[in-house]
Amino acid sequence: MSQTATAPANAEKRYTVHRSDLPLSCPLPSMALWNSHPRVYLPIENEPGGETSCPYCGSHFVLVD
């Protein structure tokens, strides 16, 4: 059985993520892809301060744990 993503893609410009959400991709797996850019994986765990931005849409992600 497949799950359908229901959250709007890239609706916010700042997202808080947890280690359990890794690997991090934008748009997030819970977001619908039909109205967004291609999925890109972001190596947030390797970034200084645990923060990164999507090169497509500019959404900012912050790793909190």
10-residue averages of pLDDT along the chain (65 residues):
58 89 92 85 94 95 94
Check residue 60 and report its DSSP letter: E
Give me the pLDDT at residue 8, please. 66
Query: 11, 14, 10, 12: which is closest to 52 by C-alpha?
Result: 14
Give me the pLDDT at residue 35, please. 78
Q: Are strands 24-26 and 40-42 parallel, antiparallel or unpaired?
A: antiparallel
Give me the pLDDT at residue 29, please. 87
Q: Reduce the DSSP state of residue 25 to 3 states and report it.
A: strand
